[in-house]
Structure 1
Amino acid sequence: MKKIWQKWNEINLIKRILVFLVLGAVLGVVAPTLEWIGIFGTLFVGALKAVAPILVFFLVISALTNARADGSMKTIIVLYILCTFIAALVAVIASYLFPIELTLTGLEAAENASPEGVSEVLGTLIMNVVANPVDALVNANYLGILAWGVLLGVALRIASEATKKVFTDVSDAVSHVVRWVISLAPFGIFGLVYTAVSTNGLEIFTEYGMLLLVLVGCMFFLAFVANPLVVYACTRKNPYPLVLRTIKESGLTAFFTRSSAANIPVNMELCRKLKLDKDVYSVSIPLGATINMGGAAVTITVMAMAASNTLGISVDLPTAVILSVLAAVSACGASGVAGGSLMLIPLACSLFGIGNDIAMQVVAVGFIIGVIQDSCETALNSSTDVLFTAAAEYRERRKAGKAIDYSEWEK
């Protein structure tokens, strides 16, 4: 069994998902009565529901416990967080302009009532935040999980290095469990696609295509419009040569590896070529792989908005801003594994009172389109690690009146 498992994991995850996606669609058309196939999708969604609360809890604790920021790093961290929030805001606007509804099961049993307004949303948020931590974990109350994770993470900053390492190891262990679950994603997608196609026909892929267009469209807007404006504000220089170089030398590699962590050596080498301060980028690049998650914020926001549209929940402007903040915060805790941002969709859905059963179906849809979505998301996240590191350093040099060699932008 161990050898079979190793052989299975040696096959590229994208290839496995594509094969089982096509197989599920074909069987859904030619043999729509094989209802037992749907059990694979049910088991996959169940596994996601089980591991997600624990993952969020320990990721947040570990990130805050070990976070360090001083000197020029503060500018980079501000850019990371600000642009992650902007990404969520762009996703909200896109969801207003191009509303997407998903085909899900169990909608009749879900609560379809819209929040009365921002006061109700804030009331729900506050009550969920102060929930008992054990109850929050048991009932998948992601707002409570996030709140307790933040409090414990900040409190544990004074702990010994040995204690901090324990939480880092636990976070890594839970992330490893997630990798096991995601490794079985092809079987889950096989069952989910089969059920969707056998019930709704091949037209279901039109729905997935529209969702994918909104997601990728947001990411392209950020890469070529929003982020260059931020870089220009920092440097007062045409940002596009630098933007295009980071996309070419970092984004393309990240697109295929689908891992910000795996792309760290590529980004470090690019920073060296740009003649940036090694003492800065040796910290900012690994940190960016953890908290600079604009693509993840887009995914979390668009999918949560799609869930609310599906249930007929209207989202007013103040609630949308709260969603953007929540998506930005949760995106900063996104797991480093492929598809990690999808695991945080229930956190955003909980803002609208959307139950875990519905939210996890939305997560499963994310895995179906993840072949393209996750690649684009990682390319955006990883390339902007270098982009914002460079922008922040050039800003500091400009303020200090130091000479800046812009020739490296053009190469």
Structure 2
Amino acid sequence: MLNALLDWLNRSSLVLQIVIALVAGVLVAWLWPAAAQPASMLGTLFISALKAVAPVLVFVLVIAAIGNHRPGQETQIKPVLWLYVLGTLAAACVGVAASVLFPSVIHFREAPVTQGVPGEIGQVLMNVVHSAVDNPVRALMEANYIGVLAWAVALGTALRHASQSTRTMIEDLGKALTRVIQGVIRLAPLGIFGLVVATFSSGGTAALWDYAHLLLVLVGSMAFVALVVNPLIVWTQIRRNPYPLVLTCLRESALTAFFTRSSAANIPVNLALAKRLQLDEETYSISIPLGATINMAGAAVTISVLSLAAAHTLGIAVDIPTAILLCIVASVCACGASGVAGGSLLLIPLACSLFGISNDVAMQVVGVGYVIGVIQDSTETALNSSTDVLFTAAASRAAQRRLGQAVPQL
């Protein structure tokens, strides 16, 4: 019996196993609420394992990719960065347009006490600079991916002048860590089962009905970006039907990101997907962790929609120049959002300041964000993380098309 089960697990799709875990989690939460506590430990352990190995994996892979880069070998980092910027700005525009077409009103509740809210864009950018020059050991311990990337790029560049044996050792270490993370990812069905049981048995979803309209605008905007805007951007790169690639990224990346609610924790999942898509390792080993830090289309939607909801609630008229400025500010703020659950909410007061909304009121908007976070933040992270690998794949496929190379089938 056990051997048959293990054989089925090895042969069946990981996505199928996750879907089964989703259904089982909902049923257990409904029929056996007392199981929430032990089941939630599975989810906690799964996310903890991902978060523990991800910074080290990214650090080593980026060093190996840069250290072993051969002069004259082309990568697609620049095109990917431009796609990140374009996608985030387009998402902010969608959020603003949706809020104008379907204005939301917030019934404020008491906001939680939160520290460290930035007051202006300059402070957001300064925080990014400080993160980049952080102590490398502390950056690894605290999963500061900007600092991890900065040190990995510096060490990788220096190691290009090291002996071949040293560079080979770093590459072998990266492969070993990749095998470790593949083992962790195989446990995703168990982890997601625990997360689903804990979420649906908590009873906190009842509060979501108070903000049903706001949630529909948020989720609808993100779905529009994922299914309309992103495919259009990808089509401009690959000049063929983008939906097979888009749906693959949504199925294999967005699904796990929805439940982990952390772009950082989903980095190993995206790295594994990029490898299965046969993308250039020197590109995706850098673009995937970089995207988890700065490619935040979902965060741009959240900041835009919640800020305009506060303006509509207070009866503040929003003209076209202010709306355009909000798109730009939301995009910049989104790039400064941390890749952890709820990272975008603390940047809402900055966007609200465009309309002269006081910090006290803005923090109540943040409080609303925490209330609806079980859906909003999960959907936001799913869009953010799946777009990282989507745009990396689009840039890679575009390069293959220009060079006349065969494009791997999905």
TM score, norm. by length of structure 1: 0.63
Per-residue CA distance 1:330-351 (angstroms, 9 max, x = gap): 1111112211111111111112
Does residue 1:269 correspond to 2:247, yes or no?
Answer: no
1:314 to 303, 311, 317: 317
Does residue 1:93 correspond to 2:97, yes or no?
Answer: yes
Runs of 4+ in 1 over 3 A off after TM superposition: 9-13, 137-140, 147-150, 163-173, 204-207
Count of aligned residue pairs for this structure pair: 286
Deviation at 1:380, TM superposition (A): 0.8
Partner of 1:74: 78
Q: 1:171 to 1:305 in 2, by over 3 A?
A: farther
Q: Report the Cα distance in structure 1 between the residues aligned to 2:372 and 2:116, rounded to whole angstroms.
A: 29
**Contact 2:261 2:378 (8 Å CA) reproduced:** yes
Q: Report the Cα distance in structure 2 between the residues aligned to 1:217 and 1:280, rounded to whole angstroms.
A: 32
Partner of 2:17: none
Deviation at 1:233, TM superposition (A): 0.6
Partner of 1:141: 119
Give the gaps of 5 or more residues in structure 2. 1-36, 45-65, 67-73, 147-197
Partner of 2:214: 211
2:285 to 272, 276, 282: 282
1:332 to 335, 344, 347: 335
Aligned residue for 1:349, secondary structure, equals: helix
Aligned residue for 2:372, secondary structure, equals: helix
Per-residue CA distance 1:176-220 (angstroms, 9 max, x = gap): xxxxxxxxxx9xxx9xx9xxxxxxxx9x86540100000000011
**Contact 2:118 2:124 (8 Å CA) reproduced:** no
Aligned residue for 2:318, secondary structure, equals: coil
Q: 1:256 to 1:140 in 2, by over 3 A?
A: closer
Q: Report the Cα distance in structure 2 between the residues aligned to 1:349 and 1:167, rounded to whole angstroms.
A: 33
Deviation at 1:283, TM superposition (A): 0.7
**Contact 1:140 1:356 (8 Å CA) reproduced:** no
Deviation at 1:228, TM superposition (A): 0.4
Deviation at 1:243, TM superposition (A): 0.7
Deviation at 1:101, TM superposition (A): 1.1
Partner of 1:242: 245
Q: 1:275 to 1:316 in 2, by over 3 A?
A: same
Q: Report the Cα distance in structure 2 between the residues aligned to 1:305 and 1:344, rounded to whole angstroms.
A: 14
Does residue 1:394 correspond to 2:397, yes or no?
Answer: yes
Partner of 2:87: 83
Letter of the 2:395 partner, please give it. A
Partner of 1:323: 326
**Contact 2:98 2:217 (8 Å CA) reproduced:** yes
Does residue 1:373 correspond to 2:376, yes or no?
Answer: yes
| Root mean square deviation, CA, Å | 3.3
Partner of 1:19: none
Q: Report the Cα distance in structure 1 between the residues aligned to 2:125 and 2:250, rounded to whole angstroms.
A: 35
Q: Report the Cα distance in structure 1 between the residues aligned to 2:249 and 2:308, rounded to whole angstroms.
A: 30
Deviation at 1:274, TM superposition (A): 0.8
Q: Report the Cα distance in structure 2 between the residues aligned to 1:335 and 1:236, rounded to whole angstroms.
A: 33
**Contact 1:73 1:284 (8 Å CA) reproduced:** yes
Partner of 1:304: 307
Aligned residue for 1:340, secondary structure, equals: coil
Deviation at 1:147, TM superposition (A): 5.4
Deviation at 1:327, TM superposition (A): 0.7
Q: 1:237 to 1:337 in 2, by over 3 A?
A: same
Q: 1:138 to 1:164 in 2, by over 3 A?
A: closer
Q: 1:294 to 1:358 in 2, by over 3 A?
A: same
Letter of the 1:96 partner, please give it. V
**Contact 1:234 1:392 (8 Å CA) reproduced:** yes
Q: Report the Cα distance in structure 1 between the residues aligned to 2:214 and 2:117, rounded to whole angstroms.
A: 29
Q: Report the Cα distance in structure 2 between the residues aligned to 1:91 and 1:316, rounded to whole angstroms.
A: 15
Aligned residue for 1:404, secondary structure, equals: coil
Aligned residue for 1:262, secondary structure, equals: coil
Letter of the 2:342 partner, please give it. G
Aligned residue for 1:103, secondary structure, equals: coil
Q: Report the Cα distance in structure 2 between the residues aligned to 1:243 and 1:74, rounded to whole angstroms.
A: 21
**Contact 1:301 1:324 (8 Å CA) reproduced:** yes
Deviation at 1:257, TM superposition (A): 1.2
Letter of the 2:103 partner, please give it. P
Aligned residue for 2:107, secondary structure, equals: coil
Q: Report the Cα distance in structure 2 between the residues aligned to 1:362 and 1:333, rounded to whole angstroms.
A: 19
Letter of the 2:365 partner, please give it. V
Q: 1:143 to 1:274 in 2, by over 3 A?
A: closer
Partner of 1:223: 226
Q: Report the Cα distance in structure 2 between the residues aligned to 1:236 and 1:261, rounded to whole angstroms.
A: 31
**Contact 2:222 2:379 (8 Å CA) reproduced:** yes
Q: Report the Cα distance in structure 2 between the residues aligned to 1:91 and 1:259, rounded to whole angstroms.
A: 21
Aligned residue for 2:264, secondary structure, equals: coil
**Contact 1:212 1:369 (8 Å CA) reproduced:** yes
Per-residue CA distance 1:216-237 (angstroms, 9 max, x = gap): 0001101110000111110001
Per-residue CA distance 1:100-153 (angstroms, 9 max, x = gap): 1112379xxxxxxxxxxxxxxxxxxxxxxxxxxxxxx99952335235446x56
Q: Report the Cα distance in structure 1 between the residues aligned to 2:353 and 2:300, rounded to whole angstroms.
A: 16
